[in-house]
Amino acid sequence: NQHLSERVLNMATSATLAMAAKARELRAEGKDIIGLSLGEPDFNIPDFIKDAAKEAIDQNYSSYSPVDGYGDLKEAIINKFKRDNGLEYKPTQILVSTGAKQSLANLALAMINEGDEVILPAPYWVSYSDIVKLCGGIPVEVKTSIDTDFKMTPAQLDAAITPKTKMMWFSSPCNPSGSVYSKEELEGLAEVLKKHENIFIVSDEIYEHINFTTTGHTSIASIDGMYDRTITVNGVSKAFAMTGWRIGFIGGPEAIVKACTKIQGQMTSGPNAIAQRATIAALNAPVSEIKYMIDKFHERRDLVLGLLGEIEGFNLNVPEGAFYVFPNISHFFGKELKGTKIENASDFSLYLLENANVATVTGEAFGNPDCIRISYAASEAELKEAIKRIKEALS
């Protein structure tokens, strides 16, 4: 370790990836593990997107693309933002990256100075705090609970702001809680932010389409006064089941996008050419093309909520989007299960792995130590079997 930078030594390993690795290890030992730890749709990529990729190979899209992405892909992104979010961007306000994860890393590198504070309503997506810390920022967690459907209130935001606050990062629909901020709730947060014009917002909307509300999705950038200080992050991993193809993008103020492009130009260059061509087909298609997947997630959510609701000690909110449930399982803390003392959510998640052969993720990784995250991006048969095993392991 003496050769390694403090930067990496201070960094946590992604808890979701660590759990997936552990599950893989146990499977290799012959154990029948059901993996509900990863945030990955279990659908195949729709054929029209695959066809676009095959065509791109045949058309020899094999050279470096522009660093910020192909011009016609940026046009497709501009149209998408207009169609789905009511947001108008120019090509200079768009950057295409290798997944939304790189979009976030670019933003942190481009905007955070040592000691800058970044407000993270907790629970938050696992990588936010480590990306912020890697760039010298200080994550300021705002704890929320099941009582507010895991959403930050305007009063909580107000109380968290200091002269050092640089940004606020959040996802809606939220990974891990599945919570969706309504337009009115975002307006409430915007009222607070209007009093502090130097604070920027990173709005991670990667689960935008996986939304079961009747009111739909609202982008905070579309709320009065927020456009000039919001960077909207999105991508194709979740809605189009394209996680491995690695395409994400941002829309935002030109100077910030330009700075992110400069960083990307030194670090990775433009994203994969074939995946960019396929993304044009994905974004240009009507959203109805992917509705079958959203409907399936909705059904599975109801299934999982119903089955988990029967287990004593699982306290659940009703997630309105994404594909996770985030039960509060603090009921089990201090108890002994089959000779194992459960002190926290990590113990509980490990207990389920070892005694139910079901992989979940501890809420600690998401800034909430009372909960675990269960992904329902799995088949109905797997979900039913997994919850049956969980129930047995806890009885």
Between 135 and 206, name the residue whose CB sits nearer to ligand PLP.
206
Which of 237, 357, 368, 375 touches ligand PLP by CB under 6 A? 237
Judged by CB under 6 A, does residue 148 bind ligand PLP? no
Please report, as a single letter, which amino acid is at residue 388.
K
Between 173 and 327, name the residue whose CB sits nearer to ligand PLP.
173
Between 356 and 372, name the residue whose CB sits nearer to ligand PLP.
372
Judged by CB under 6 A, does residue 235 bind ligand PLP? yes
Q: What is the DSSP pairing of strand 165-171 with strand 200-204?
A: parallel
Distances (CA, A) of 74 to 30, 128, 206: 46, 25, 17
Judged by CB under 6 A, does residue 168 bind ligand PLP? no
Which of 14, 145, 148, 243 touches ligand PLP by CB under 6 A? 243
300, 210 Cβ separation under 8 angstroms = no
Counting residues that bind ligand PLP (by CB under 6 A) gives: 13
* CB 211 to ligand PLP: min, Å: 14
Which of 37, 93, 129, 175 touches ligand PLP by CB under 6 A? 175
Which 10-39 residues touch ligand PLP, going by CB under 6 A? Answer: 39
Between 99 and 252, name the residue whose CB sits nearer to ligand PLP.
99
Q: Which one-letter DSSP state was computed for residue 321?
A: B
* CB 324 to ligand PLP: min, Å: 9
Structure tokens given for 150? 């895991």
Between 39 and 394, name the residue whose CB sits nearer to ligand PLP.
39
Omega within 30 of 0 (cis) for the link into 173: yes
Between 130 and 332, name the residue whose CB sits nearer to ligand PLP.
130
Q: Where are the beta strands (DSSP E) in the chain?
A: 34-35, 94-97, 117-122, 138-143, 165-171, 200-204, 230-235, 248-251, 324-325, 336-337, 340-341, 358-359, 361-362, 372-375
* CB 359 to ligand PLP: min, Å: 15
| Per-residue burial over 38-75, b = 16 or more CB atoms within 10 Å of its CB, e = otherwise | bbbbbeebbeebeebbeebeeeebeeebebbbbeebbe
Which 104-143 residues touch ligand PLP, going by CB under 6 A? Answer: 125
Structure tokens given for 190? 């915007």
Binding site for ligand PLP (CB under 6 A): 39, 99-101, 125, 171, 175, 204, 206, 235, 237, 243, 248
